[in-house]
Structure 1
Amino acid sequence: MKKYQLTALISMLCLTFAANSSIELYNKEGHKISLKGRVKAMNYLTDQNNSNDGEGDKTKARIGFDGHTKITDSITGYGRAEWETKTSGTAVDTRYAYAGIRFSGFGAIDYGRNDGIVKGVISYTDVLPEFGGDAGNVNRYLLSKRTSAVLTYRNHDFFGLVDNLRWTVQYADNSSDTKVGNLKKGPEAYGMSLDYTIGDSGISLAGVYTQTANSNKFKTWATGIKYNANDLYLGALYISSKQNDSDIKYSGYEFVAQYGIKTELGQLTPSLAYIRHQDKSANVSHKNLSEYIELGATYDFNKNIKIIIDYKFNLLDKEDIGAKNIEANTKDVLALGIMYQF
């Protein structure tokens, strides 16, 4: 690792400052618009040089807005848009762009670019300071990433019959974002998820199933459990995909543990996780796509600013399919950063 990089980052992490709360742009006559954003100043360090894509500057900036408008006492319209850009490039990524209507006692329905329905279960373990999220943003699991052209219906108490039971149904048009496995283009797809919190126990359970609408169906299912109470967070995820009439199959599991420690200046949250995903297709040897132990922490000075340290103990061998015979993909990685958000 380059000493000057490490020195510069440690100096940056020592800088803290007070921050303002979220920005409310407009709130009048039942119509509200709020602005939100963040800057994550981040650098990855390994024992490789900067030509390795896994090392160097990973700074990102994000900006977006939420809007709500009252139609009647029981009907509300809403919309969200959000964009992100990296300092290492000029492209702007549209993260979210959707609009919908919420009906009191009935639920909410929206359309646009939104999270795939599987991300709700993935979120149980996608809580690491920097790494993690290996089950999302990939083409191995259907509707596991942000997706364009999705119609989503959500109900948070099953029509008032069951408290803490969240039911979601989603349909995705044939967008390129839904491409999975060896399918050359994104097919139509649909799915359903259930998420239930057991009273005040802090325990939540979730499950999801998705499949494509074509004849050679690609299916994904996942289940998760988490405990979030008394400053302790524990989460576990299992996810699997399979294509009919094909030997293509993927699976993975993730475990995470975190504990919040309050201090005079804020809260320190250490994090420990184990992640493993495999290509279990019959013709694949050295099946690991990703495997690592994560050890890290965040220090939240307040709700607006935090410092981040995260270390990935990479367990891949260079023969593993996830390394693609590139030695750099088997290296440990240290992430150091600071994030301001509003």
Structure 2
Amino acid sequence: MKRNLLAIAIPALLVAGAANASIEIWNKDGNKLDLYGRVYALNYLGDKGNTVDGEGDKTTARIGFSGETQVTDTLSGYGRFEWETHTGKNAQDETRYAFAGLNFGQYGSIDYGRNDGVLKSLTAYTDVLPEFGGNASNNGLYVLSARTDGVATYRNSGFYGLVDGLDFAIQYGDSKQIDEPLANQTTDEIFGSKESYGMSAQYSILDTGLTVGAGYATTSKAKTDERAKSWMGGIKYDAYDLYLAALYSHTSYDDVKIKGVELVAQYGIDFEIGRLTPSLAYIQHKTDGSDADLIKYVDVGLQYDFNKNLTALVDYKINLLDKEDIGAGNIKANTKDTVALGLIYQF
């Protein structure tokens, strides 16, 4: 769903409009401003004992804007802000994105603020399920893999105009990721809040539909100089209505090593009105050298796009954890399955 709803991988897409459907509210004298948003009516059906996913109303609403101002023929400035509010039992508000930067054309762009961690471009390969997924960035154990406070990011597309399809990014900042971590620990508690940095690169191979990517990020713990290190590698194929993706992730800190594997397959079927996309995925993250899994499930989902503004979905998370596993957010693993039903209106 994230792949279909938001295009946030590179600044060119950011300043052009962060969602597939956006409203241009100003475009004059080299200044452009787009408004976008969505209402996501969502409900989880599951056992009341399912403390990982919970149950009931999960509805959210988002609003944001992206803007661009042309300074010269080769220099422009841009910015983005996005805010979200949650309903239901644990209602809360959140500033998801807030950053500004400069774009130097083929020489790349640099921005600062609250933005995606540099490894998010890789976790996006498999973060495409109708509702679930995204576990490589939503657990707090992989450095600079989720939305992160106070990061400076340099991005370049096409390797300075020399190699079409070769993109890379370099990032420096603190390590305070925003997404929900494992074991109810914040990323600060796991890694600390000293300096962190990372880099990633992707190469889209001609017109084959194949893209390969890899990345590395590291940060130091708050009370020691020992560094936590994360590596990721992924591959995706997107052509002829077929989408296939695989992601491998690894983190080491202290004497702990975490590794994860995510596999996704989707196929789009066009109708006279709308498009149906079935999906199948396998997700597993575990401590290396241990039989205890942190996250393990099979996901079966359906997404129906009536048009670019309206989407209906159903997503079934088949939990494969055993009671002996650690589990995400719990001392003992929760083995309950969860079904998500949703309707999305976006502009």
Task: State the one-letter code of the partner of 2:211.
Answer: S
1:187 matched to 2:197: no
**Preserved contact between residue 194 and residue 207 of structure 1 (Cα < 8 Å):** yes
C-alpha distance in 2, partners of 1:167/1:235? Answer: 19
C-alpha distance in 1, partners of 2:297/2:176? Answer: 32
Task: State the one-letter code of the partner of 1:211.
Answer: T
The residue that corresponds to 2:120 in the other structure is: 119
Return the match for 2:271 from 254, 260, 263. 263
Change in Cα spacing, 1:119 to 1:297, as seen in structure 2 (3 Å) is same
C-alpha distance in 2, partners of 1:33/1:90? Answer: 30
The residue that corresponds to 1:54 in the other structure is: 54
**What is the identity percentage for the equivalent residue pairs of Structure 1 and Structure 2?**
54
The residue that corresponds to 1:85 in the other structure is: 85
Task: State the one-letter code of the partner of 1:164.
Answer: G
The residue that corresponds to 1:237 in the other structure is: 247
C-alpha distance in 2, partners of 1:203/1:53? Answer: 33
Return the match for 2:327 from 322, 328, 333. 322
1:294 matched to 2:304: no
**Preserved contact between residue 190 and residue 213 of structure 1 (Cα < 8 Å):** no
Q: Over residues 190-223 of structure 1, what are the superposed CA-to-partner deviations in whole Å (9 max), with x where a residue is unaligned? A: 0111100000000000000011256301100000
Cα displacement (A) at 1:23: 1.5
Correspondence list, 1:270-289, <5 A? 270-280=278-288, 286-289=291-294
Greater Cα offset, 252-261 or 44-53 = 44-53
Cα displacement (A) at 1:173: 2.9
Return the match for 2:231 from 179, 202, 221. 221
C-alpha distance in 1, partners of 2:72/2:191? Answer: 45
Cα displacement (A) at 1:26: 1.1
| SS of alignment partner, residue 330 of structure 1 | coil
Q: Give the structure-2-normalised TM-score.
A: 0.86
What do you get for the CA RMSD once the two structures are aligned?
2.1
The residue that corresponds to 2:336 in the other structure is: 331
Larger radius of gyration: 1
Task: State the one-letter code of the partner of 2:130.
Answer: P
The residue that corresponds to 1:132 in the other structure is: 133
Cα displacement (A) at 1:160: 1.3
Task: State the one-letter code of the partner of 1:298.
Answer: Q
Cα displacement (A) at 1:287: 1.7
**Preserved contact between residue 276 and residue 291 of structure 1 (Cα < 8 Å):** yes
C-alpha distance in 2, partners of 1:286/1:51? Answer: 22
Correspondence list, 1:156-175, <5 A? 156-173=157-174, 175=176
**Preserved contact between residue 177 and residue 187 of structure 2 (Cα < 8 Å):** no
Greater Cα offset, 44-53 or 133-142 = 44-53
Cα displacement (A) at 1:47: 3.3
C-alpha distance in 2, partners of 1:213/1:115? Answer: 19
Q: Over residues 84-115 of structure 1, what are the superposed CA-to-partner deviations in whole Å (9 max), with x where a residue is unaligned? A: 11112442111000000000220000000000
C-alpha distance in 2, partners of 1:57/1:135? Answer: 24
The residue that corresponds to 1:40 in the other structure is: 40
Q: Over residues 317-339 of structure 1, what are the superposed CA-to-partner deviations in whole Å (9 max), with x where a residue is unaligned? A: 12210063657x21111111100
C-alpha distance in 2, partners of 1:242/1:136? Answer: 15
Change in Cα spacing, 1:286 to 1:48, as seen in structure 2 (3 Å) is farther
C-alpha distance in 2, partners of 1:148/1:32? Answer: 26
**Preserved contact between residue 175 and residue 188 of structure 1 (Cα < 8 Å):** no
**Preserved contact between residue 147 and residue 177 of structure 2 (Cα < 8 Å):** no
C-alpha distance in 2, partners of 1:25/1:202? Answer: 34
The residue that corresponds to 2:182 in the other structure is: none
Return the match for 1:304 from 287, 299, 309. 309
Q: Give the structure-1-normalised TM-score.
A: 0.88
**Preserved contact between residue 176 and residue 185 of structure 1 (Cα < 8 Å):** no
Task: State the one-letter code of the partner of 1:84.
Answer: E
- Structure 1 unaligned blocks of 5 or more: 1-19
**Preserved contact between residue 81 and residue 95 of structure 1 (Cα < 8 Å):** yes
Q: Over residues 43-101 of structure 1, what are the superposed CA-to-partner deviations in whole Å (9 max), with x where a residue is unaligned? A: 01013379886111111101100000010111110000001111124421110000000
**Preserved contact between residue 175 and residue 191 of structure 2 (Cα < 8 Å):** no
| SS of alignment partner, residue 142 of structure 1 | coil
Change in Cα spacing, 1:193 to 1:317, as seen in structure 2 (3 Å) is same
